[in-house]
Structure 1
């Protein structure tokens, strides 16, 4: 019956309510299974501790025999974890020796082992709260234990099993190894605190660390159990979101970071001996396994070779067995003890001030209830003896970062830890991680430091990643960027297009500004065309000067001097108009380029047309009885010029009033160049201007061709025919050439066409006259006119 009752205790705990009448039950007949691994040090106020040092193989209960006959075996100890126990004892003793904290009050502790098992965790937690000489849940039997807080456990699973019991009694619990959130299944564990920073901070820290070394192909090793599985899955998500793949996920023992060195702790460890402390139920098995000897007060068995001398030293153990420097989890325990001590001291001080009586204040402190500490712990803030600030956030998690530790190994399998950096959550994400690369010691086997951890080679700028089928996204091929695109970083998923005013460089790894191109005065082609324009303008001006100076000579008077002057001035301005096409386009030059040239050149052609019509009309009017006699004279010529020119003026006015030309950037016609050009605004109006000039030229050519054989010594019709033939040839070839070129060469074609057509008019019409005027003045006589039958028009 005793065994059945004990089995019921394991299955039904914890119990929530017991009626008052049941509290008269005596604590007898409830002797539990004897598990000797505990350490009790008396004190006026106790701090409990549940560590994971010893691991039992606990068989499943099959209810086929008495539970007490089930065999429990010990597979071994985790030697490193004995430091956790010593850290708690060290912190308690240090506080008792410090007069500034809890003066006149002695702290004690009671440490149990969870044995790494959830059932045993329930049992150890209940033992910690209620066990004296007997065991009964929800009762204090014998001497009352004043446990005001519990430190534990090592893992999230153990910590949460403890929280299920401690939370019922509102006893503060500080976990020293749990990464589980203080919120469980949406319910906040109000009595649960932890010395490990926020879980998400660990994920962020791991990701930042991997990014720092540019590692993208990693393995994940977590502790066994649901928490380890949760950690692995959550970390996989974070890694994936940051472009990092896991090659595998395995389970194993997690290693703690170093969150500081306490030289006093190392001196404390030097005093540890097999029988150094009464009540330490952990040291015997630890010592025997660590030093491979047997502790005995009697004659040793015959099969035992080594007897512990008691003079063995912890500092002689290899680092991978036992570390003399305080590890990360031990430091968490140390800090947790100080949290309870400072919380008690705060309460003790406030009560002493309110009572003004030290003895009464001590009495109040001694009868403090555990639940009263929560409000103090939640707002506690202090610097411990190592200089670290201890403060909890609103979720009961310590608000500190992580130290980054480098394990430096030696040929004898020993190692030391070197602090190489820190993860500080107080800084922005981009500055949260600090790594001192110069402190890192890589293994000599690495041919490259830091070593690469990639599924394949890096895709360098100028290429992009191409996913391999049926493999993780970290495994990929590298393809060159398509033409016209770049990648300027390593391992880019896709190439990108440059801004419209930039182009890829030869390596396709950066965008370079496009070259601004236009017909410039600083280049040879621009200078040549400008000099030609000025040269022909000068020639035209000289011809005009000659014609003005010799205006009374017969050859000049014979063909309407006013039209000749107007034609020469128009040609002069047309040559100068070509200069508007050279240089960087501006709003004013774009407005004047085609419109000014179109109007001026139309006046020139109109003048040529007027001269031709005048010759024809004069010849016809010379016949007896001709009705054209009244048209003979300058009036016909002027009306021809004015009417023909006004049509072009109207076309240009409509153009400027509706869609005027403007400076523009053509970024598509030429690769690598930005063409600075004048946008015509309306191609229709542009071709209307050119078309009208062509129409006038064709009419002039036709009239001049018909009048080329009229009997007149100074008949210009044949010269005008040649000039119009040149003009039409130039501008007929201009259109296809203009449409087939790009950039500044379009402007070159325009300038060349202007210069060629104007030069054709100047040369064909005026070079014969200049020849006679300058080289054959003997032909420039009025008598020559009288030798013809038909009069000249003056």
Structure 2
């Protein structure tokens, strides 16, 4: 790694003791030096010599300018830090006790240092320089920990902080939907802080990568040298198809391609801003000639390693090539950097070199601002200014932090932490047809842009490790809408199971953590990603069951009225008169009403409809049973009379029969009035029975009143059945007691079955059962009582004159002068006709 020290030279009185000055210590040959008012001191190894040459180029360029530091000359002193803290500290301490001459001993402490490239070494140097308050400007140390101004108040850099890089990486993995990402980092401050920041910034699932892990996306915060060891191990395990995400530490480390190109194809990484060109730099880099290499062991090492030869009298003591150093052929002296490819002379990726270039210009512009200070308006106490030739290091810090300049068309400025505004190129490692590496810019990250627009990616030009699209790297597939995430105990946050939303709940987002319950009037669709209105259920006129019940109800009413018409047409016949014509007419009318009451149960319930429905049902059925009860009582009374004209019938004449009908119905009316006044039926939306359905129903309001209505109907039916059973032995032709008995059996069967079915069903089926019970019982009464009579009237009219054999006892005139024909009954094996007549005969 490279370390540079920028030092200002002062004028001092030379003591006579300098004549006898002796340098103590080992002479440092691996260094570069040029005197000046400002000396840049640092060190390089191998390829990093390019950065030293970039710095010397920038210094020479500044010295040749007339608009920047015209009164000062910059120099440099470069030493090797060897990427090692002890070596870097030794180089730092030697800056003030140089072997360049004894006069240098009396020079003051260097006012500014440019370096080091490593974050760890930079922190070590800063802690050593802390008491001197000497500013350090780094060109490649990116650890976010260095932004802490309380711990490192003298630190500046032209390299963006890792905090920006981490945000860029987090947005990158989020952009491609990678939620299962491995992270690699060596044991260093840079990697440790980078991984911590990444885990805090990202919302994905990260873990320390191992060779047995399943992730296909690996973020590597290692440096170039550590990356070589990692790739060797990856190759030994024959692991392929990995999507590498490179940090800026190795995003442009092209030397890795030669050995590990197959593993690195498709790598994506954020590289620091690249300068398209630094005018004159390429010529400066290639101007090195064999005559220059004997100046230091460092240059000798660089030359010998580049051309794989051995210099005569070389001061180089290191060998990085394969084989014995002594077996190399001597250098010919005609070698030229123009004839070979070397990363040293490659100016296609001017990234770190550009940072070095800006670091030198940062110091130059700070010194220029210091020189432009006017007395009385300075930034220090009492408006004083610093003397550019006699200033303190801490005074330079003030100007460094406020520097704002342009370099190669780019505006360079810094935030309050001494960090530049971040801009990264997203580069893709692509294999060219000839197998060489081509670093292609496929996007960028600009921290100065709004949050949603900071990352721009051109997917179409990316070359992927496998296939033509981004690899999928997830521990668990995303949970689709309609399900929720269920974390797996003891596993990373991105490892989860997808659980369908519970009944009545939905989720309309991917990877939803919880499902939302639908409102009372909505229900999830089949996918459970949307609440839809619940199905409203009631027995409608538009559905098949409603239509059928409606037709049957109307048909029953029509049949009842038709029979009524037939009875009215044949009202003077014995059969009609023998069956209590008036009560028969009333019964047929009430049966028609009973049939039509079923229509009140069809359609959408409302409060007024519910208040009519149940009372109409109870009263209509009570009317029918009351009529049957009166008819049965008439037959039974006539049957119990011993002789025609007995006075027993005067207590159950037409008026009493009518009164009994209305009296029996009045009790039901009273029950219904109490029901309506206390707790009337009303419409209700039932969402409890079926979650996905709103059942529109009529609630009885008072269960007691409802069952009282049914109970009273049952009492009337029991009384009717009992009386009809007692009158079952009347003559066959005119005996309807047996038919009433049979109709009551049907009535009981229907309503006894109705009770458990009614209680166990809900919704429109409960209503359908109720209507069916009404229609079934009504049809039972209608057909059992009136069908046989219609059969005789229409098809067997000869049987409708059975009383003709009684002409001898009674004339037709006498018979038809009676108020009411009571019937024919059997007494001592003889038939008798019972009338209520005006005369007593």
Q: In structure 2, what is the equivalent of residue 274 of structure 1?
A: 288
Instruction: Measure, in 2, the Cα distance between the counterparts of 1:486 and 1:643.
Output: 51
Q: Aligned to 1:307, which of 294, 318, 331?
A: 331
1:298-697 to 2 correspondence within 5 Å?
304-307=328-331, 309=333, 312-313=336-337, 316-317=340-341, 323-349=346-372, 351=374, 364-381=387-404, 384-387=407-410, 389-409=411-431, 414-426=436-448, 432-443=454-465, 446=466, 449-452=469-472, 516=535, 518=537, 519-536=539-556, 539=559, 558-560=581-583, 563-564=586-587, 567-568=590-591, 570-580=593-603, 585=604, 589-591=605-607, 595-615=611-631, 618=634, 620=637, 624=647, 632-656=656-680, 660-666=682-688, 668=690, 674-678=692-696, 685-686=702-703, 689=706, 692-697=709-714
CA deviation profile, 1:142-175 (whole Å, cap 9, x unmatched) = 4567x55332211111111121233323333232
The 8 Å contact of residues 537 and 576 in structure 1, kept in 2 or not, is answered as: no
Aligned residues: 714
Query: Greater CA radius of gyration, 1 or 2?
Result: 2
Instruction: Measure, in 1, the Cα distance between the counterparts of 2:540 and 2:601.
Output: 13
Structure 1 stretches lacking a partner, 5+ long: 1-22, 55-76, 356-360
Structure 2 stretches lacking a partner, 5+ long: 1-14, 212-219, 228-248, 252-269, 317-324, 379-383, 802-811, 825-832
Q: 1:548 to 1:615 in 2, by over 3 A?
A: closer
Q: In structure 2, what is the equivalent of residue 166 of structure 1?
A: 129
1:114 CA displacement? 1.7
Q: In structure 1, what is the equivalent of residue 3 of structure 2?
A: none
Q: 1:369 to 1:777 in 2, by over 3 A?
A: farther
Instruction: Measure, in 2, the Cα distance between the counterparts of 1:577 and 1:104.
Output: 110
The 8 Å contact of residues 533 and 578 in structure 1, kept in 2 or not, is answered as: no
Q: In structure 2, what is the equivalent of residue 785 of structure 1?
A: 821
What SS does the aligned partner of 2:693 have? strand
What SS does the aligned partner of 1:403 have? strand
The 8 Å contact of residues 619 and 665 in structure 2, kept in 1 or not, is answered as: yes
Q: In structure 1, what is the equivalent of residue 91 of structure 2?
A: 124
Task: Answer yes or no: is 1:34 the counterpart of 2:27.
Answer: yes
Instruction: Measure, in 2, the Cα distance between the counterparts of 1:403 and 1:489.
Output: 37
CA deviation profile, 1:624-661 (whole Å, cap 9, x unmatched) = 3689559825334323212212213433554448xx44
Q: In structure 2, what is the equivalent of residue 20 of structure 1?
A: none
Q: Provide the alpha-carbon RMSD of the alignment.
A: 5.3
Instruction: Measure, in 2, the Cα distance between the counterparts of 1:83 and 1:558.
Output: 128
The 8 Å contact of residues 705 and 718 in structure 1, kept in 2 or not, is answered as: no
CA deviation profile, 1:341-387 (whole Å, cap 9, x unmatched) = 444444444539969xxxxx999545454423444444555554253
1:276-291 to 2 correspondence within 5 Å?
282-291=298-307
CA deviation profile, 1:318-345 (whole Å, cap 9, x unmatched) = 55x7742345433333333343344444
Instruction: Measure, in 2, the Cα distance between the counterparts of 1:298 and 1:282.
Output: 10
Instruction: Measure, in 2, the Cα distance between the counterparts of 1:345 and 1:534.
Output: 108
Instruction: Measure, in 1, the Cα distance between the counterparts of 2:356 and 2:572.
Output: 122
Instruction: Measure, in 1, the Cα distance between the counterparts of 2:762 and 2:627.
Output: 38
Instruction: Measure, in 1, the Cα distance between the counterparts of 2:547 and 2:59.
Output: 94
The 8 Å contact of residues 140 and 352 in structure 2, kept in 1 or not, is answered as: yes
Q: In structure 1, what is the equivalent of residue 112 of structure 2?
A: 149
Task: Answer yes or no: is 1:726 the counterpart of 2:689.
Answer: no
Q: 1:245 to 1:770 in 2, by over 3 A?
A: farther
Q: In structure 1, what is the equivalent of residue 210 of structure 2?
A: 247
Q: 1:458 to 1:758 in 2, by over 3 A?
A: same
Instruction: Measure, in 2, the Cα distance between the counterparts of 1:230 and 1:299.
Output: 40
Q: In structure 2, what is the equivalent of residue 192 of structure 1?
A: 155
1:290 CA displacement? 2.1
Range with bigger deviation, 282-291 or 298-307: 298-307
For normalisation by structure 2, the TM-score amounts to 0.69
Instruction: Measure, in 1, the Cα distance between the counterparts of 2:42 and 2:570.
Output: 125
For normalisation by structure 1, the TM-score amounts to 0.72
What SS does the aligned partner of 1:261 have? coil
Q: In structure 1, what is the equivalent of residue 309 of structure 2?
A: 293
CA deviation profile, 1:451-479 (whole Å, cap 9, x unmatched) = 45567x95886999999999978789x89
The 8 Å contact of residues 205 and 433 in structure 1, kept in 2 or not, is answered as: yes
Instruction: Measure, in 1, the Cα distance between the counterparts of 2:762 and 2:65.
Output: 89
Instruction: Measure, in 2, the Cα distance between the counterparts of 1:536 and 1:302.
Output: 123
Instruction: Measure, in 2, the Cα distance between the counterparts of 1:791 and 1:376.
Output: 136
The 8 Å contact of residues 580 and 821 in structure 2, kept in 1 or not, is answered as: no
